[in-house]
Copies of this chain bind each other. A is one copy, B any other.
């Protein structure tokens, strides 16, 4: 029984969450700390070890540690190669965690493990699923036949960086017209600022002035008040989300597309236009079903829960 409980850690650009998680996804205890300002490997490791120590003090039967982190993680070595919003490069997370804790550890991309949690423990089990997280950026996770696809060394499944228009806006990654450049919170901020500049008396501009700047949240607030411009921007954002989903659904044969991340809390404001566009751009509709697009079950906990599930899986594999 002692192998049925693991610590899941979710390392984001702004916060680090850790929890003791059962095999059925129940979170027994959870801790959250801010991501250190400089976010270099040493500082982040110290936070991870502190969370692990405090969680183990309450649960002495933890069998393994799983980490989900934004960025490119070499698999199965658990080396963080590169992260878009953190300073660390070539950081041997798995090796350092195992040495410091004496527990087996696994490290994977945060959206990969979130996809695992949604596939395994969503409303019903799914074996073929894409997860798209719409937050500051776009994260993507892919489950094929019940297993995370990450490519032979973990460098695959960068779904946020498929190209939706090579002449499109610059993405945070430096390329042009990525999915992330069109359908993320950053894209909503960009569109909101353009709208505010176009109409300085409009609600978006006025709310932005009250708050000091226009962000995606300004647009969300304006949409909540029924502002037609803000509603139109959500229609455009959702349409791009649906185009990206359609592109992925033409490659993969999916049972479901799960949308997570902070912006999914806007519900049908985002998902209704996404569903329309995903259907519009679906290939060969008479021979291929269009996968339903649903909101994530685990919300902000998906990375933590999925990381723990993966740790339990790998523990089982290595134990036999």
| Known A152-B128, A164-B163, A247-B163: A82·B284 in contact at CB below 8 Å | yes
Q: Which of A116-166 contact B (CB under 8 A)?
A: 127-128, 142, 144-145, 149-159, 161-166
Chain B residues, Cβ within 8 Å of A151? 128, 252-253
Q: Which of A217-241 contact B (CB under 8 A)?
A: 239-240
Interchain CB contact (< 8 A) of A287 among B72, B176, B251: B72
Interchain CB contact (< 8 A) of A163 among B178, B281, B287: B281
Say whether A20 faces chain B, with CB atoms less than 8 Å apart.
no
Interchain CB contact (< 8 A) of A82 among B163, B164, B176, B287: B287
Chain B residues, Cβ within 8 Å of A101? none
How many copies of this chain?
Answer: 2
| Number of interface residues, chain A, beta carbon within 8 A | 49
Q: Which of A246, A251, A286 lies at the interface centre, i.e. has the most chain B CB atoms within 10 A of its CB?
A: A251
Shortest A126–chain B CB gap in Å is 11
Q: Which of A144, A165, A283 lies at the interface centre, i.e. has the most chain B CB atoms within 10 A of its CB?
A: A283
Say whether A288 faces chain B, with CB atoms less than 8 Å apart.
yes
- A interface, over-half SS: loop
Q: How far is the CA of A289 from the CA of B293 in the complex (A)?
A: 32
Say whether A175 faces chain B, with CB atoms less than 8 Å apart.
yes
Interchain CB contact (< 8 A) of A175 among B72, B176, B248, B283: B283
Chain B residues, Cβ within 8 Å of A284? 72, 82, 158, 161, 173
Interchain CB contact (< 8 A) of A152 among B72, B127, B142, B157: B127
Interface 1/0s, chain A 252-278, versus B by CB < 8 A? 110000000000000000000000010
A253 adjacent to B155 (CB under 8 Å): yes
B158 adjacent to A72 (CB under 8 Å): no
A250 adjacent to B161 (CB under 8 Å): yes
Interface 1/0s, chain A 7-19, versus B by CB < 8 A? 0000000000000
Chain B residues, Cβ within 8 Å of A195? none
Say whether A106 faces chain B, with CB atoms less than 8 Å apart.
no
Say whether A47 faces chain B, with CB atoms less than 8 Å apart.
no
Shortest A160–chain B CB gap in Å is 9
Interchain CB contact (< 8 A) of A162 among B81, B239, B251: B251
Q: How far is the CA of A283 from the CA of B162 in the complex (A)?
A: 9
Chain B residues, Cβ within 8 Å of A155? 253, 287-288
**Would you list the 4 A-B pairs with minimal beta carbon distance, nearest first?**
A151-B253, A82-B287, A156-B253, A161-B283
